[in-house]
Amino acid sequence: MSTRFFSLICKHKALRRVAVWSICLSVLTSCGKDDDIVDPVEPKKIFSLSVDASYPATTRDNWVLLHDQNGSLIDFKKYKAGDVLTFETEKEIKDNKMTVTIFANRENAINYRIKSFANIPTGEVWTLKGPTPEYPFVFPTGIGQFDIIVNDIPADKKVRVAENSCTASFMLGSSADKTVIKSPLLSTTPYYTPYYMTTVESERDEHPKYKVIANPKDKDTYEFSYAEMSEFERILPVSFSDAGSFYARICGFGEDQSYIPGNVSGCCHSYDNSALPKETSMHLAFTSAFPKYQTSVYMNTGNYLFIYDQQGPMPESIRVPQNAKYGSVNKSVHHYTYTYDQPFDRLDYAAVYHDPNRADVNISWTIYTGKECPVIQELPEGLIVEYPSINFSYFSDVSPEFISGESHEDMVALNFKAGTKEKDAFAKSSYIPKP
């Protein structure tokens, strides 16, 4: 303002009041501008990964990637055994759900393993461990031999003998009067006490019989008639719509026996329809002689592969989806879509890798999800530079596996949540449509 203007104000009281109010208003307005300053957003922890010391030290290179529901890359880090990684972001995560991808180059520069886990809530804490150590196979130690004689077996039936390690299961044809099962090996391992189960059945038998020989002795002979054998207390029919190969294994366990991976410690008997390839049903037999079972069914038809596995009591039923319309719509690994007409709990799908210029490159990419398949639109530039073979266009022929009896959340917890143990009783089935 000019000197003349200030002089004019001083001569007039009214103008002096206006000037004072103007100056106050100017001060107040300028002070208010500080309110527009936005405080910095604190980054939010969205994921933690602890890499156990058991993770293979020979692994060449490992990455963990996080993507949001739209397929955009949130963050990525490299990891090694003993690392503790924390992921933070200032971005808003849609639905607070992510896809966690674990990349491992365990062998050399051309063999990679990629696994993606979809629909993971933000804030999860995972522990990544090395492969679960397998129980070493212990071959049974021979401690003697004995004979089994079964009299008066009907001509159309056969005898099957199984020991409780399931290492010796064999079937013998019947004679008119009796069947002698000469000198089966009496054996033992650290996992069980020896006993044998003898079953008599025909290919279509809905009423097979059995006899349990508990703790047989060396050089003894066990003789009984067909009439003295017991009928199985439970016969479970399994039907399927498409003829094909069928195999089932039933292992009964004592109360003090454990399910041991790689070493079946229960008394087993098995079924297959190799002699009846056109059959569309099978009858599985169970006895109350055992308090718990492991029941496995494998079915390979012209249209699908069906796998069933139950641990615990005798199964109430085994349901094979009839004429199911499970199928693929979009087979791209980064945006797979599918169709279905029957219920299921979770979905796994694996992509076949084919680089027309690099037949030597071997990459497997498996995605684990609930029912909403993830979208993966971008990969870290550093990963692409280091591994140029990882190109979405090279992944095709996605093979889906529709799983019932296990949720996606339970599967993730079992693999990555510290302290989670497999359930003592469960029933899980998989339906894998053929391309």
pLDDT of amino acid 28? 46
Cα 178 to the center of its chain, rounded Å? 47
Structure tokens at 60: 């060449």
Q: What is the dihedral of CA 247, 252, 253, 254, to 10 degrees?
A: -170
Name the most confidently modeled range: 71-75, 248-252, 378-382: 71-75
pLDDT bracket for residue 13 (50, 70, 90)? very low
**Of all residues in the chain, what percent carry a pLDDT higher than 70?**
70
Residues 393 and 349 in one domain: yes
* Whether residue 169 has pLDDT greater than 60: no
pLDDT of amino acid 235? 85
In a domain, 332, yes or no: no
How many whole angstroms separate alpha carbon 413 and alpha carbon 372? 18
In a domain, 322, yes or no: no
pLDDT digits 0-9 by tens, 129-168: 877 655 555 555 666 777 778 888 877 777 777 665 444 4
pLDDT digits 0-9 by tens, 266-318: 666 666 666 556 677 778 888 887 788 888 888 888 889 999 999 998 899 99
Q: Please report, for the chain, how many H helices and E strands are present, in that order.
A: 4, 29
* Whether residue 193 has pLDDT greater than 60: no
pLDDT of amino acid 3? 46
Q: Which domain covers residue 348, as residue numbers?
A: 42-132+338-429
Residues 121 and 153 in one domain: no
pLDDT bracket for residue 367 (50, 70, 90)? very high
In a domain, 79, yes or no: yes
* Whether residue 204 has pLDDT greater than 50: yes
Residues 105 and 74 in one domain: yes
Return the number of other C-beta atoms located less than 10 Å from residue 66's C-beta.
21
Residues 12 and 66 in one domain: no
Residues 361 and 303 in one domain: no
Q: Output the CA–CA distances (angstroms, integers) from residue 248 to 4, 237, 245, 313, in the order listed.
A: 108, 12, 10, 16
| Domains held by the chain: number | 4
Q: Output the CA–CA distances (angstroms, integers) from residue 433 to 110, 304, 309, 327, in the order listed.
A: 30, 4, 18, 7
Q: Which of 277, 312, 347 is the last residue of a domain?
A: 312
Q: Which of 196, 216, 231 is the last residue of a domain?
A: 231
pLDDT of amino acid 195? 58
Residues 123 and 198 in one domain: no
pLDDT of amino acid 202? 63
Output the average pLDDT for the chain.
78
pTM equals 0.79
In a domain, 331, yes or no: no
In a domain, 169, yes or no: yes
Residues 158 and 191 in one domain: yes
